[in-house]
Amino acid sequence: MGKALDGVKILDFTHVQSGPTCTQLLAWFGADVIKIEKPGTGDITRGQLRDIPDVDSLYFTMLNHNKRSITLDTKNPKGKEVLDALLKHCDVLVENFAPGVLDRMGLTWEYIHKVNPRMIVASVKGFGPGPYEDCKVYENVAQCAGGSASTTGFREGPPLVTGAQIGDSGTGLHLALGIVAALYQRNTTGKGQKVLCAMQDGVLNLARVKLRDQQRLAHGPLTEYSQYGEGVPFGDAVPRAGNDSGGGQPGWILKCKGWETDPNAYIYFITQAPVWEAICDLIGEPGWKTDPGYKTPKARLPKLKAIFARIEQWTMTKTKFEVMQECNKVDIPVGPILSMKELAEEPSLRATGTVVEVDHPTRGKYLTVGNPIKLSDSVSEVKRSPLLGEHTEEILRDVLKFGEKQIAEIRSSGAIGGTEKMAAE
Ligand code: COA
């Protein structure tokens, strides 16, 4: 059996993180992703945050698996010819340039649609149409503009960004879904369409529960927020809620054995209503099962801080894994705070292909995150990222069927790089 997206050809104009996340997913599902890079430099992340001199950074390698790389100066007339041939050949153009860049390259929607009416043009931008549409945007800008930062952190502290790249990788994920939907619709219409995913919109979508709470505020305090129990009045916007659960079952992060020296000796503990009695037994407070002051979720809401403090007395006597083991036995939902070191070493994640070791010709072996979306009949294999321009000749010859004379002309025009692969090797 082949791959889910076998036969889909992607002209990949993406760079940095948001766009590459999207095209990497499409490549994992079997699409042929041809990444166009500027001769000489390529995707700027190749050289960013380098841990080994003159070797593609992990930033780049971990976002560009299973792709082919062609170096092409799209502003060179010969380069434009190659680009036009690629436009005719491919099904989807994916880009995350700053606003206006694609148009300046001459790739307006009208032009692309004329060259290939079936072409889907998928874009990540920082903002959708409106006052900020011309702005350049990076991850943390999106987290701030999309409502995540204002609702993350502790009430007493400043807004916080999160380590999960919800602005970049989150938007790339949204865009991939938009592309697959547009490909599906093209089966009936025969025509391509534009797919736009703004990073602000992607973050807001992921912060949906906070817009829910904004509207609930109009009808009274948010009783599941611990500030309610602490008697702190609410303002007119959703506050930062520390480690409060975003759902209807109260939760908090609690210390476990070793917290004094291990910054990750903590566990997320959820006092889910259906297992309240099991929690009381486990922590040695059986009286709370029948005490009217604790028996119902409503009665507990104003006392959550004290309740979690009592549970923490129990969790501090055990490691996070012991807490997890004991809680799982009686169906109490808890989550150990796992460090990146622990995740990298976790055998079950290796077994499922979520954490994968990859070999790279200039870097050697490194770890990456494989496809988190598992299809039973289209299993993703993680193949190393391409060296800069590694597939330039192969694409001109085998994909675009250019003859040797034509390739020589393109080469002598300076439109393609050529030596990068050798330099890298
Ligand atoms: N050949 C010739 N020129 C090329 C080229 C190629 N193969 N590939 C790119 N370029 C040129 C572009 O034409 C552009 O030139 P121009 O401004 O003279 O028209 C230039 O390279 C750089 O494009 P730009 O996208 O503006 O890069 P940047 O480094 O200035 O900005 C971002 C980076 C991420 C801020 C910006 O691309 C952006 O806001 N993207 C949308 C939001 C986004 O995805 N952000 C998250 C990134 S993880």
CA of 175 to the centre of ligand 1 (A): 18
Query: Is 262 one of the annotated active-site residues of the chain?
Result: no
Distance 381 CA to ligand 1 centre (A): 30
Cβ proximity of 260 and 334 under 8 Å: no
Taking each helix axis from N to C terminus, what angle separates 169-189 and 18-28, rounded to the nearest 10 degrees? 50
pTM above 0.75, yes or no: yes
Which residue of 101, 127, 140, 196 sits with most ligand 1 atoms within 8 Å of its CB, as the best mutation to test the pocket?
101
386, two tokens: 């391409």
Q: Going by C-beta distance under 8 Å and a sequence separation of 6 or more, which residues neighbour residue 297?
A: 250, 273, 276
Closest residue by CA, ligand 1 atom 6: 38
Residue closest via CA to ligand 1's atom 15 equals: 101
What ranges make up the beta strands (E) of 199-333? Answer: 251-255, 266-270
Output the tens digit of pLDDT for each of the chain's 425 residues.
799 999 999 999 999 999 999 999 999 999 999 999 999 999 999 999 999 999 999 999 999 999 999 999 999 999 999 999 999 999 999 999 999 999 999 999 999 999 999 999 999 999 999 999 999 999 999 999 999 999 999 999 999 999 999 999 999 999 999 999 999 999 999 999 999 999 999 999 999 999 999 999 999 999 989 999 899 999 999 999 999 998 889 999 999 999 999 999 999 999 999 999 999 999 999 999 999 999 999 999 999 999 999 999 999 999 999 999 999 999 999 999 999 999 999 999 999 999 999 999 999 999 999 999 999 999 999 999 999 999 999 999 999 999 999 999 999 999 998 644 434 43
Partners of 10 in the β-ladder: 33, 92
Task: Output the six-digit token pair for 311.
Answer: 């549970």
Q: b vs e for 182-196, b when ≥16 Cβ sit within 10 Å of the residue's Cβ?
A: bbeebeeeeebbebe
Judge residue 302's burial from the number of C-beta atoms within 10 Å of its C-beta, 0-12 exposed, 13-18 middle, 19 or more buried.
middle
Catalytic: which of 12, 56, 73, 168?
A: 168
Residue tagged 């791959």 (tokens):
3
Closest CA to ligand 1's atom 4: 38
